[in-house]
Chain A
């Protein structure tokens, strides 16, 4: 793929093009309507690894059909058509795809650095957008998406699928009911023992390497913070009811010294306005902890994984009680102390996953997006949630880069939605 081709697809969407799209988008919007019967025609920009997974999942939702595929890497078309099992129209330029008539909504699963451009263009063309997380690579890009949603009135759902997991929502409800007391800390990990690379057909082709392993290069990616941290940050924002006010971080390319630029391990500590803390860690050299979130409250702990959640209670704090005179008369017996340092946690209380729930978090997120279109509702994980998650990712990564505490107020021009209160 030549650099020219790349520009054509990923390109910088220079003013003239953006303007043309704006005009075209306004005309197009009136024609684009969700067909009767709930059928929704989707197109995908970037049917790579994650894009293909989303395609499979969307196709499990009744009435969904893919009517457009856009990529700059030719093999993706055959792979994506293998998923649709039909000759789905292909486009090498996203602007051509957005000019097509038979598209109701667009799935954007391109590298992070192109999210803002592709999402804004799709919204401006009158389409609803399911945008892969993280929302955008810069605060400015996030602001652009929020503005475009406001301007077009179209739906934007950010791909933080765990928001839709029943055990996440159930845990959140119990937390809000005070089940584990006041939440003071969230400790979250996403630990893997893997180089995090995707296979490249020709390992000697550096252009192909950057195209396929874009997560490794700072030009396109914020690395582990964006690709993994965004899920946990999004959940912590929900728990704390807002976004962080500051962040410090550490990280580096310390184990997989294979030419990558984005960090192979990150640790960040976010402070929220009411004094709560989120600690997030992602490493690629040990998978013992896996992906989990521990929510610490004064009366208990919630442990969430990719497939379940368990609540544990803290030991009861006993109130002072009057002592009988017997103690004074008979004294206190001395002896060795055997109090275990590690508290007994018990088996905990599993959050049940109902039998009749449709599938995993990915399915629930995709199904919810389709439902929001058909029912003309706003998505749950909308642009406000995406904005808060992405801004925290961006500043977390920047804090690692700069090696100092960053205050969110210094980088945000216009807080979005509910998050304006937390700054």
Chain B
């Protein structure tokens, strides 16, 4: 799974509560519910007029998240993704239209990003010891063996039969770099269709989407934390009908001979990305932002900014360097520029280079 790091999400006022939040209007009250899914915690904040209405919306939303967790998980042996991983190395596997479309989208992101987004990096993660551990430097033969099983070009999709086939047996797909964004989009669509006017869907704080704005506000306040110190916020933005995703490297890494190796791989080199701490992107939907945040991180600031330029309506914020020497770089980044009305505690003035 590619690394994702927390973004501090808040709404306009007050602390969080399980049911009715303190922020109410004449009719609508703010509600919150959270459940574990996809290896993290999904939280939904929404405005509803009645408890029963909020419960119904939460119920439908979390049922969809749970369904996608059961489908896209590479940990659960009974999931559709696990079935594909088990079989596609030695046969063509027919899958359902939703899964097929999602895989097509992934391959398209891989192609467009020059392979910096790649759902086949699992063997590399294992070789570097990041699958369920803190990491280790792999032996050259381990790396060579892993590289043989990595590469989006080795995933063969045939639309005629909706089949998936791996050119090399032993390959595996990991949708950790896009699945949460896809789930967020599905839930957002469902909430909109149900008539929800203001909501925030938070997938483990690495991907967030805001529907509308809290009553009387211009948007939902979202803070981007300083890498290594979540008590400090490097930027505060107002999110409204758009998504924000963040990838970060500073929670899972190891150091060797003065170098820091994080758990986010550059699929092109087969090695962890160095010199990058965090990449945050704002865009039109969850799948887009989640799928862009990793290439941003891997490509770095200059290449990454060029890449973002291919996607309308997106903006990015990088934190490069080392934990003790951070450099912030932005591209089309909105910030609040005083419009937020309120800023998060710990927020500070940024010195940014704007393209």
Residues of A within 8 A of B (CB): 49, 53, 56-57, 59-63, 82-85, 197-201, 203-204, 306-307, 353, 355-361, 363
Which residue of B90, B98, B194 contacts A83 across the interface (Cβ within 8 Å)? B98
Residues of chain A within 8 A (CB-CB) of B59 are 197-199
| CB <8 Å contact, A85 and B77 | no
| Chain A residue at minimal CB-CB distance from B51 | A203
Asked if B57 is an interface residue, CB under 8 A from chain A, the answer is yes
> Once the chains bind, are B55 and A60 in contact (CB under 8 Å)?
no
A84 to chain B, nearest CB (A): 6
Q: Cβ of A203: which chain B residues have Cβ within 8 Å of it?
A: 50, 52-53, 55-56
A204 to B83, CA, bound (A): 41
CA distance A353 to B58 in the complex (A): 35
Of the candidates A62, A199, A358, the one whose C-beta lies within 8 Å of that of B56 is A199
Contact present for A358 and B87 (CB under 8 Å): yes
Check B95 for interface membership: any CB of A closer than 8 A.
yes
27 CB-based A-B contacts, threshold 8 Å: A56-B71, A59-B96, A59-B162, A60-B80, A62-B94, A62-B161, A62-B163, A63-B94, A83-B96, A83-B98, A84-B97, A85-B97, A85-B98, A85-B101, A198-B63, A199-B56, A199-B57, A199-B58, A199-B60, A203-B52, A204-B52, A307-B77, A357-B86, A358-B87, A359-B80, A360-B79, A360-B83
Interface 1/0 per residue, B153-173 and A, CB below 8 Å? 000000001110000000000
Beyond A56-B71, A60-B83, 4 additional contacts (C-beta under 8 Å) are A199-B57, A200-B56, A355-B86, A360-B83
Chain B 107-146 interface mask (CB, 8 Å, partner A; 1/0): 0000000000000000000000000000000000000000
B342 in contact (CB, < 8 A): no
Q: Which 4 A-B pairs have the closest CB atoms?
A: A199-B59, A360-B78, A203-B52, A359-B83
What residues on B are CB-neighbors of A306 within 8 Å?
78
Type the 1/0 row for B81-93, where 1 means its CB is closer than 8 Å to any CB of A: 0110011001000
Q: Mask for B40-80, Cβ within 8 A of A = 1, else 0?
A: 00000000001011011111100100010001000001111
Report the separation of the CA atoms of residues A56 and B83 in the bound assembly, to the nearest whole angstrom: 14
The answer on a CB contact under 8 Å between B97 and A356 is: no
Q: Nearest chain A CB to B59's CB is how many angstroms away?
A: 3
Q: Whose C-beta in chain A lies nearest to the C-beta of B50?
A: A203
Contact of A201 among B90, B95, B99, B194 (CB under 8 A): B194
CA–CA, A123 to B79, complex, Å?
32
Given contacts A60-B95, A85-B101, A199-B63, contact A307 B78 (CB under 8 A): yes
Contact yes or no, B56 A83, CB < 8 A: no
Residues in B with CB closer than 8 Å to A357 are 86
B residues whose Cβ falls under 8 Å from a Cβ of A: 50, 52-53, 55-60, 63, 67, 71, 77-80, 82-83, 86-87, 90, 94-99, 101, 161-163, 194
Measured in the bound complex, the distance between the Cα atoms of B61 and A201 in whole Å is 11
Query: What CA separation (Å) do A82 and B98 show in the bound complex?
Result: 8
Query: How many A-B residue contacts, CB cutoff 8 Å?
Result: 70
Report B326 CB to chain A, min CB distance, Å. 44
Q: Which of A197, A307, A359, A363 has the most CB of B within 10 A?
A: A359
Does A56 contact B56, Cβ atoms closer than 8 Å? no
Judge whether B83 and A83 touch: CB under 8 Å. no
The A interface is mostly helix, strand or loop, or mixed, namely loop
In the bound complex, what is the Cα–Cα distance between A84 and B99 (angstroms)? Answer: 11
- The CA-CA distance from A357 to B63 in the complex, in Å, is 27
Q: How far is the CB of A373 from chain B (nearest CB, A)?
A: 16
Contact B96 A60 (CB under 8 A): yes
Partner of A56, one of B77, B82, B96: B96
Query: Cβ of B87 and Cβ of A83 under 8 Å apart?
Result: no
Name A359's contact: one of B58, B78, B163 (CB within 8 Å). Answer: B78
Residues of B within 8 A of A200 (CB): 56
Smallest CB separation, B241 vs chain A (Å):
21
Q: Closest CB-CB distance, B143 to chain A, in whole Å?
A: 25
Report the nearest B residue to A361, measured CB to CB.
B78
Residue of A nearest to B56 (CB): A199
Q: B81 to nearest A CB, angstroms?
A: 10
B86 to chain A: closest residue by CB: A355
Kindly report which residue of chain A lies nearest to residue B76, judged by CB atoms: A307
Q: How close is B182's CB to chain A, nearest CB, in angstroms?
A: 13
Complex CA distance for A201 and B194, rounded to whole angstroms: 7
Complex contacts, A84 vs chain B, CB 8 Å: 97
Q: B194 to chain A: which residues have CB within 8 Å?
A: 201
Of all chain A residues, the one with the shortest Cβ separation from B195 is: A201
**B333 shortest CB reach to chain A, Å:** 35
Query: For A197, what are the chain B residues with a Cβ–Cβ distance below 8 Å?
Result: 59
Interface centre among A60, A63, A356, A357 (most CB of B within 10 A): A60
State whether A363 and B83 are in contact (beta carbons under 8 Å apart), knowing that A83-B97, A85-B98 are contacts in the complex. yes
Instruction: Tell me how far the C-beta of B80 lies from the nearest C-beta in chain A, rounded to whole angstroms.
Output: 7
Complex Cα distance A358/B98, Å? 18
Q: Which residues of A are found within 8 Å of B71, using beta-carbon distances?
A: 56
**In the bound complex, what is the Cα–Cα distance between A56 and B90 (angstroms)?**
23
Q: What is the CB-to-nearest-CB distance from B79 to chain A, in angstroms, rounded to a whole number?
A: 8
User: Please, how many angstroms separate the alpha-carbon atoms of A42 and B334 in the complex?
Assistant: 50
Query: Measured between alpha carbons, how far is A360 from B83 in the docked complex, in Å?
Result: 8
Chain B residues within an 8 Å CB radius of A83: 96-98
Q: Is B78 a contact partner of A60 (Cβ separation < 8 A)?
A: no
Q: Are A356 and B86 in contact (CB under 8 A)?
A: yes
Considering the chains assembled together, what is the distance between the CA atoms of A252 and B245 in angstroms? 48
Q: Which single residue of chain B is at the shortest CB-CB distance from A52? A: B67
Give the shortest distance, in Å, between B224 (CB) and chain A (any CB): 33
Q: In the complex the two chains form, is B94's CB within 8 Å of A60's CB?
A: yes
CB neighbours of A53 from chain B (8 A): 67
Q: Which residues of A lie under 8 Å from residue B87 when comparing CB positions? A: 356, 358
* Least Cβ–Cβ distance between B66 and chain A, in angstroms: 11
Could you tell me if B83 and A201 are in contact, using CB atoms closer than 8 angstroms?
Answer: no
Q: Are B94 and A56 in contact (CB under 8 A)?
A: no
Judging by beta carbons under 8 Å apart, are A61 and B94 in contact? Answer: yes
For A57, list chain B residues within 8 Å (CB).
Answer: 96
Separation of A249 and B76 alpha carbons in the complex (Å): 36
Distance from B127 Cβ to chain A, minimum over Cβ atoms (Å): 21
| C-alpha gap A361/B77 in the complex (Å) | 11
Contacts of A359 in B (CB 8 A): 78, 80, 82-83
Q: Is the CB of B55 within 8 A of A199?
A: yes
Shortest distance from the beta carbon of A67 to any chain B beta carbon, whole Å? 14
Which of A59, A62, A204, A353 touches B77 (beta carbons < 8 Å)? A353
In whole Å, how far is A54's beta carbon from the nearest beta carbon of chain B? 11
Q: How far is the CA of A358 from the CA of B58 in the complex (A)?
A: 33
Residues of A within 8 A of B60 (CB): 199, 201
A residues within 8 A CB of B94? 59-63
Contact A201 B86 (CB under 8 A): no
A197 to B63: give the CA distance in the assembly, Å.
11
Chain B residues with CB under 8 Å of A355's CB are: 86
Closest CB in chain A relative to B187 CB, distance in Å: 13
Assembled-state Cα–Cα distance A49/B63 (Å): 10
Nearest residue, chain A, Cβ from B83: A359
- Is A56 touching B98 in the complex (CB atoms < 8 A)? yes
Q: Which residues of A contact B79 (CB under 8 A)?
A: 360
